[in-house]
Amino acid sequence: MAHIIGSLQGLLHWLIHAGPIYIVALSILVFVHEFGHFWVARRCGVKIEAFSIGFGGELFGWTDRLGTRWRVAWLPIGGFVKMFGDADASSRPDTAAAAQMDAEARRVSFTHKKLWQKALIVAAGPAANFLFAIVIMAVLFSTIGQPFTPPVIGSVVPGSAAEKAGLMAGDVVESVDGVTVRRFEELRQMVVLGTGDPLTLTLMRKGQAMTLVATPQIVEEDDLLGNKTKVGRLGMMPSGQFVMRHEDPATALWQATRETWSITASSLTAIGQMITGRRSSDDLRGPIGMSQVIEQVSHEGFIPLVQLVALLSISLGLINLFPIPVLDGGHLLFYAIEAVSRRPVSDRALAVGFRVGFALIVSFYVFVMWNDITKHI
């Protein structure tokens, strides 16, 4: 009973304190995502009927000169762009209505666009999230700077995994499992994701190239919210202090793209570890857990909060690419099947797919919400 009361008190705290910050951050990212769909669809000649932030009844809105209804709804858990030819907000095609359209209607209908155009419109949402994150980080790297610590080992903890692998002070790490390491921060990120698997490190020692294999030790650490989480650790420290390295705009853009790719790859690795059971699903957070992280980071200042928004934008883009019907990745999967088979996926298959996809999304949402209430509050 005490645990339940504590959970309810935590939920009330979230609604009052953390909820508004989370809603604002999420709404920005949803707008970016949906605007990606909107912008490309307009360039492809598709009529947009509605652009919504949130689901459910409309709180307020307006209609532009091209007939698009811009609206903010009362349930702030996502958004959608309703295109002419769609049956509903999930972008399920209205085949019955499409068959009765005249030439003018077909010209602006999403359903009647070429396959490559539809795929481009669907992919534009996740792409907008990735580009948004790249732009944020590029601006930060060229103004505030990027944390930079040379990937040089300063010391090795006695008895650690690093010592057992033969790593020594002064070693310059150049790559891990074939992935180039430019900063000690990147090396740390690769090690933290370790689940007991060996890592192949290519390094320079006194001008000589070497390859060593190190297996991170799995230890428990507290995350931002004080929850225990398992991470990999080699047991070594960098040789120098980090500096905020300012980059010229072109280099900043390249480093931001590289960082986005690294975060995406790390996220996929973590997801794969959860699927195979090598990482606990307790690390998953829903809206309550994420809003608590946002609230915590917001206390550290505006810049850390902006950095977190960039990270969340990458996560939103990646999640939407999962091949689950209802998500953008599911639509792209159907288009890929159509491209190979040379005929559209049947209405029955689409209907079943959307029901299954919706059930998966709802189940996942309930799971992470329960995870939030029982683990993170």
Strand partners of residue 93: 86
pLDDT at 5: 42
Q: Are 11 and 117 within one domain?
A: yes
Contact 92, 350 (CB under 8 A): yes
Quick one: average pLDDT of 79-94? 80
The answer to whether residue 59 is domain-embedded is no
Rounded to the nearest 5°, which phi and psi values hold at 227?
A: -85, 145
DSSP 44: T
Q: Grade residue 3 by pLDDT with cuts at 50, 70 and 90.
A: very low
Please state, in angstroms and rounded to a whole number, the distance separating the CA atoms of residues 105 and 167. 68
Same structural domain for residues 119 and 197?
A: no
**High-pLDDT (> 90) share of the chain, %:** 42
Instruction: Tally the domains of the chain.
Output: 2
Q: How confident is the model at residue 222 (pLDDT cuts 50, 70, 90)?
A: low
Q: Is 174 contained in some domain?
A: yes
301 domain-assigned? no
Domain boundary among 215, 245, 275: 245
Alpha carbon distances (Å) from 189 to 232, 233, 265, 281: 9, 10, 11, 19
Is the pLDDT assigned to residue 13 strictly greater than 60?
no
Same domain, 134 and 194: no
3-class DSSP state for residue 23? helix
* Residue of higher predicted confidence among 122 and 191: 122
Quickly state the pLDDT bin for 190 (edges 50, 70, 90). Answer: confident
What is the per-residue pLDDT for 313?
A: 95
| φ/ψ of residue 76, rounded to 5 | -85, 65
- Note whether 128 and 37 are same-domain residues: yes
Same domain, 190 and 131: no
**226 and 177, same structural domain?**
yes
Q: Hey, what are 73's tokens?
A: 């709804």
Q: Last residue of some domain: 245, 272, 293?
A: 245
Task: Record the tokens describing residue 245, joined without a space.
Answer: 């390295």
Q: pLDDT tens across 90-121, in order? A: 677 777 777 788 888 889 999 889 999 999 99
pLDDT category at 223 given cuts 50, 70, 90 is: low
What single-letter DSSP state applies at residue 198?
A: -
What residue has token string 């944020």? 136
Amino acid at 290: M
Has residue 237 got a pLDDT over 70?
Answer: yes
Catalytic residue check, 34? yes
Q: Does the residue 225 lie in any domain? A: yes
Tell me the Cα Rg of the chain. Answer: 24
Torsion angle (degrees, nearest 10) of CA 367, 287, 306, 81: 90
Q: Which of 34, 186, 247, 259 is catalytic?
A: 34
CATH assignment of the domain containing 228: 2.30.42.10
Instruction: Retrieve residue 251's tokens.
Output: 């280099």
C-alpha of 344 from chain center: 30
Question: Predicted confidence band at 1 (pLDDT cuts at 50, 70, 90)?
Answer: very low
Question: Cα 185 from chain centroid?
Answer: 20
Residue 8: the pLDDT is 45
Q: Among 220, 245, 270, identify where a domain stops.
A: 245
Give me the mean pLDDT over the 284-308 stretch: 77
Residue 301 has pLDDT above 90, yes or no: no
Statement to judge: residues 30 and 128 lie in one domain? yes
Q: What is the pLDDT of residues 22-31, one digit of tens each?
A: 788 888 999 9
In this prediction, residue 283 has a pLDDT band, given cuts at 50, 70 and 90, of low
Has residue 330 got a pLDDT over 80? yes
The answer as to whether 58 is a domain residue is: no
Residues 121 and 213 in one domain: no
- Per the structure, the complete domain to which residue 167 belongs is given by 146-245
Average pLDDT in the chain: 84
Please say if the pLDDT value at position 203 is more than 80.
Answer: yes
Mean pLDDT within 13-26: 66
